[in-house]
Amino acid sequence: MERNHVMSDLIPYGEQFEKIVDIIESAKERAYRKVNEELILMYRDIGEYISKQSENAEYGDAFVQKLADFFAENYPELKGFNRRGLYRMKQFYELYKDNEKVSPLVTQLSWTNHLKIMSACKSMDERIFYMNMCIKERLSKRELERQIDSGYYERYMLSQKPLTPAIEESRRATGNVFLLYHIEQSIFCFYQRGWFKRRTHASYSAYSYDSRKMHIGCR
């Protein structure tokens, strides 16, 4: 009976006690961000060291393999320091070392998201695009993979391009508000499947049609 009385007295304080939980969660989030920041900086510094040593005539391209062998023999408990992992750190440093736009972004992403962006993106603009998306949307690795694999960046860039005169004239003449959407989707679909080949200048007219690859529908 007394226990029930004590519990009933605590119920009105529930919302106040939740503030303590909020404090705990906020502290955990700050701690995670700090640990992640230090981890990314560590990978960058290791990548810088490897990059500079690889330029040394004494070591050359074999430096990464020698370093991987050293870790395997002397520190087998340390994970991620095999040849592939070390090469990724070197690549990470070399990709972003002189880019002022990227500097404030890199420590806000997880290493797994960085690996996906480095391996899947074809240009610096695309990498920066997905970095900003990761930060703004707090994307997990799986969510980032889904966005990249769906060609979200390409679709976004197509939506930003001006219409060619022919398309604009058709839109004005027909008054069809859905025309642009269908054209954009078709161009993106064809581009993804290789039905269009990119020329040197950038516009919708910069795609040439390859009839040999044409199929009905877009799967």
The 10s digit of each residue's pLDDT in 68-123 is: 999 999 999 999 999 999 999 999 999 999 898 898 999 999 999 999 999 999 99
Q: What is the pTM of this model?
A: 0.66
Structure token digits, residue 94? 């070399």
The boundaries of the domain holding residue 40 are: 2-157
Are 147 and 166 part of one and the same domain? no
Phi, psi for residue 58 in degrees, rounded to 5:
-65, -30
Alpha helices, DSSP H, located in 55-164: 63-74, 83-96, 111-120, 124-137, 141-149, 152-160
User: Domain total for the chain?
Assistant: 2
| 181 pLDDT above the threshold of 80 | no
Are 83 and 100 part of one and the same domain? yes
Contacts by 157-160 with C-beta closer than 8 Å and gap 24+?
158/184, 158/187, 158/188, 159/184
- Please tell me the least confidently modeled range out of 115-124, 152-161, 190-199: 190-199
Are 104 and 182 part of one and the same domain? no
Are 147 and 178 part of one and the same domain? no
| 187 pLDDT above the threshold of 60 | no
Are 78 and 94 part of one and the same domain? yes
219 part of a folded domain = no
Q: What percent of the chain stands above pLDDT 90?
A: 54
Distance separating alpha carbons of residues 70 and 56, to the nearest angstrom: 18
Asked if 194 and 211 count as a contact pair (C-beta separation under 8 A), the reply is: no
218 part of a folded domain = no
Distance separating alpha carbons of residues 14 and 34, to the nearest angstrom: 31
Contacts by 210-213 with C-beta closer than 8 Å and gap 24+?
none
Average pLDDT of the chain is 78
169 part of a folded domain = yes
- 167 pLDDT band (50/70/90 cuts)? low
Are 90 and 184 part of one and the same domain? no
Distance separating alpha carbons of residues 166 and 163, to the nearest angstrom: 8
Q: For residue 20, give every residue at least 6 positions away whose Cβ sits within 8 Å of its Cβ, in sequence order, or none.
A: none
State which of 128-137, 154-163, 178-187 shows the largest mean pLDDT: 128-137
Higher pLDDT: 204 or 104? It is 104
